[in-house]
Each structure stands twice: as C-alpha cells, then as structure tokens.
Amino acid sequence: MVLGVLFAVMRASTPLLAGLQGQVRYYLTTDLDLRGATQQVFSSGLREQIARGWRVFPELWDRLTGRDDQELDDDVSFAMPVEGTVTSGFGYRPDPITGEVTFHTGIDIGATEGTPVVAALAGTVTNVAEDDAYGKYLEIDHGQGIVTLYAHARDILVSVGDPVSQGQTVALVGMTGRATTTHCHFEVVVSGQPVDPLQMKGLSDSQ
C-alpha cells in the first residue's frame, strides 16, 4: 500500500500533488515508520494540502472534506441505522481488501449478523437491489434531495414503493457483496453527492 501511494503521488504533476509529494518525501526521509508516515499524510496533511491547493474546485473540495454545507431543514435529525460500532469513516482510506487508497462514500457500522438495520429518516423505499460491491442493499428517498443507502444486508425486509418510518427495521446486517466482516455500509447522499453521515444532525455526536 505504501509503495502504491508513493508511486501514485510521484507520478502526479499538479502543484498540489507536488506539495503532497514533498510531504511524503519529508515523512519518509525524516521518519522511517512508513505506516505512521502514510497515516499522518492521509489524516491531516492531505486535507490541508487540498484545502490550500484545490479550493478552486469547490465541488471536489466539498466531496473530499465531506463539507457540503447543505442547508437541510432543522427538523431533519437522523437516527443511527444500526446499533454497533463505526469501524470505518467517510473519506479517503486504504481499501480493506486491496489496500489501495480509495474514497469511502459512507461509513461502516460493524454489528453481528442479523442485527436490525433501521431507516435513518422517514421516507419511501426507491431501490432494492444486489450487486458485487454493495451486496444486498436498499435506498430510501427522504425528500429535500436526501437519499440514504444501506448495504451488505443479509436480508432486505421492504420493497420498492414502501413508505417507511424513522427507526423502522428495513434490513438485517450481513456481509453480502464486497465485505470482509458483518457490517452495514451506510451512505447519506444529498443532492446527488455523498456526504459524511457523521456530520448529519442526530449522528454528529455518535462517533
């Protein structure tokens, strides 16, 4: 993973990435703990570099930082979809399977198989599907441009068109699709952009 990151950074040629490259070199030459070096770069350094260099691309900046500054109604307060532990946050991370750094569009909540997955807000089920990545998943439309997605389920308990209330059980935790543990991958999409669920009202204090 470290070499992959380094290689990707070395190949890049934009001013931002040149800065990043310098930073990676700095860590590598002054600190031989490679693991610590990359973690440090990707936890704080990357965001700061992007803040400075890529502010000209506001959409990308928002996406990278999870800061969309979306104006949601005050009464929109999310419920945590699964009682469990957040094992992986929103944003760049080493892929749990390949180790490559990729953008994680949601959060992972670890829980034992069969744990209820509940609707984070009231809404209408708009998609129930299965694919290689998400496994069995569903999407709920909550209006105001807000959609939530719940993936890797063992079972889906609702159908397209069903109205659901906040807290209603819609699925059971599993590890279908691209998953190495039983967990729920939970996404919040606002106006078509994935945002950090843990920045949403009602969830922001559950980290």
Q: Rounded to the nearest 5 degrees, what angle is found at the Cα of 14, between the Cα atoms of 103 and 27?
A: 70
Smaller CB separation from Zn ion, 142 or 185? 185
CB of 11 to Zn ion, least distance (A): 27
Using the minimum distance from each CB to Zn ion, give the nearer residue, 108 or 196: 108
Candidate ranges 38-46, 69-77, 100-108, 167-175; the one touching Zn ion (CB under 5 A): 100-108
CB of 87 vs Zn ion, minimal distance in Å: 9
CB of 175 to Zn ion, least distance (A): 11
The CB-of-163 to Zn ion minimum distance in angstroms stands at 27
Burial 40-63 (b: 16+ CB within 10 A, else e): bbbeebbbebbeebbeeeeeebeb
Of 49 and 176, nearer to Zn ion (C-beta) is 176
**Among 27, 49, 86, 108, interactor with Zn ion by CB under 5 A:** 108
185 binds Zn ion per the rule CB under 5 A: yes
Name which of 205, 207, 200, 206 is nearest 78 in CA terms.
Answer: 200
| Shortest Cβ 88–Zn ion spacing (Å) | 6
Distance between CA atoms of residues 67 and 59, nearest Å: 10
For residues 51 and 133, which CB has a smaller minimum distance to Zn ion in the complex?
133
The one-letter code for the residue type at 58 is P
Nearest to Zn ion of 130, 162 (CB atom): 130
Size of the site for Zn ion (CB under 5 A): 2
Q: How many CA atoms are closer than 13 Å to the CA of 143, on its beta-carbon side?
A: 8
Q: Judge residue 148's burial from the number of C-beta atoms within 10 Å of its C-beta, 0-12 exposed, 13-18 middle, 19 or more buried.
A: buried
| Site membership for Zn ion, residue 196 (CB under 5 A) | no
Residues of span 15-74 touching Zn ion by CB under 5 A: none
Dist CA 30 CA 199 (whole Å): 35
C-alpha–C-alpha distance, residues 73 and 201, integer Å: 10
CB neighbour list of residue 174: distance below 8 Å, 6 or more residues apart = 113, 114, 135, 136, 152, 153, 154, 155, 182
Nearer to Zn ion, 68 or 108 (CB): 108
Find the shortest distance in angstroms from Cβ 177 to Zn ion: 10
DSSP bridge partners of 149:
139, 187
Check residue 142 for interaction with Zn ion (CB under 5 A): no
What does the binding site for Zn ion look like in residue numbers (CB under 5 A)? 108, 185
